[in-house]
Amino acid sequence: MNVEKLTCFHFRNYETMSFSFVPKCIHFLYGKNAQGKTNLIEAIYFLSHLRSFRTNQMDSMIMHGCNEFCVQAIVESNHRKEELKVIVDHQKKHLFRFQNPVKKYSDFIGIENAILFCPDDLSLFTSSPKNRRRFIDMELMKLSRTYTSTLSSYQKLLKQRNQALKQSNIDECLVQIYLDQMIEVQSVIIKQRNEFLNSLMNKARELYPFFSNEKEEIGAKYMTFIPIDPDMKSHMKEAYDKVFEKEKRYHQTLIGIHRDDILFELNENPVCEVASQGQKRSFVLALKLGLAQIIYEKSGQYPILLLDDVFSELDDFRKRQLIEKLPRDMQIFITTTERLNINWNREVRFYDIEKGRIKEVLK
């Protein structure tokens, strides 16, 4: 998968920008801070996820003094051209594919599949469980339309059950109807999340030694409220029966996959307790490249890889290791403030970015 052309209007500090990029190539985006390097990869990421990795406030992405922004791209996917466009105004997204409106987010997310590494990813190990669930859910949503619809069904049922529990006279039959449906969809979600995590960690374990000089073992456990076995539905029913009286007092659903977590481990200890910043960075890089490999095996093509400030705090050895491990058939965008003295073994392009303008430069 490749972004062949990217166009932005009134996006961050890009008033008008349109640029073509080379497929299966590493693109180095040079520039001082606050010039627009990260803004460019944010635009590519936004087309993939319909959200920013930097903010939840879409208005903050609109150029000062403007009312809307537009990001569009021509993407090559499995030898087909895709024309994608998103216009955002007043917190509303308008989606287009080949200039035709797209009504459902699920029909748009993942058409352009991009994976991001940024410095904030190191907080994956220390932030709230919500962020770790989102990490898993966003990738599964891009890989599986079934997962997207199943998760959406669960969220709707959870909201309906909570509303039923909030009534002054609780209709226990209605609450049970919602619960029976929730148990069905949760068994699917738990299974998919767990299988995906196991597959991801198998890939990450193979890659992690390339980013570390130490003999270390990495792992991850999916933490849910029931044992993961063929009797999951029975376990769920028992668990909900035990907390039902408490749920009636608190007027909300107290257990479920909306509270699940992932425990990342280094040498069988929680990463958040024992890992250095360098070890966390190596762990995240192994996860992201492992994810790229899973996508390749499932779809037959690599996603676009976005690496924001990835070389910060990496020594020359790890920089070389990272470049060597990047698949040759993958299009990659790397932001950096420093010129790199590395022997390239593949096609690369270099760009200077200054005040919202991009210019290709010779090596």
Closest CA to 35 of 363, 358, 254: 358
The C-alpha atoms of residue 23 and residue 162 are separated, in whole angstroms, by: 48
> Is 164 annotated in some ligand binding site?
no
Q: What is residue 167's three-state secondary structure?
A: coil
> Is 203 annotated in some ligand binding site?
no
- In contact, 71 and 58? CB cutoff 8 Å: no
> Is 37 annotated in some ligand binding site?
yes
> Is 126 annotated in some ligand binding site?
no
Say which DSSP state 52 is in: -
The C-alpha atoms of residue 184 and residue 237 are separated, in whole angstroms, by: 11
Neighbours of 135 (CB within 10 A): 18
- In contact, 287 and 116? CB cutoff 8 Å: no
Q: Give exposure, 212-223, as e/b (b: 16+ Cβ within 10 Å).
A: beeeeebebebe
Identity (one letter) of the amino acid at 109?
I
> Is 156 annotated in some ligand binding site?
no
Neighbours of 321 (CB within 10 A): 19
The C-alpha atoms of residue 52 and residue 259 are separated, in whole angstroms, by: 23
Q: Give exposure, 338-347, as e/b (b: 16+ Cβ within 10 Å).
A: eebeeeeeee
The C-alpha atoms of residue 357 and residue 8 are separated, in whole angstroms, by: 11
> Is 31 annotated in some ligand binding site?
yes
What's the half-sphere exposure (Cβ side, CA atoms, 13 Å) at 153?
Answer: 18
> Is 32 annotated in some ligand binding site?
yes
Give the bridge partners for 87, in sequence order.
70, 94
Pairing relationship of beta strands 304-308 and 92-97 according to DSSP bridges: unpaired
- In contact, 5 and 21? CB cutoff 8 Å: yes
Give the bridge partners for 263, in sequence order.
221
> Is 85 annotated in some ligand binding site?
no
Residues annotated in the binding site, as ranges? 31-38
Residues annotated in the binding site for ATP, as ranges? 31-38
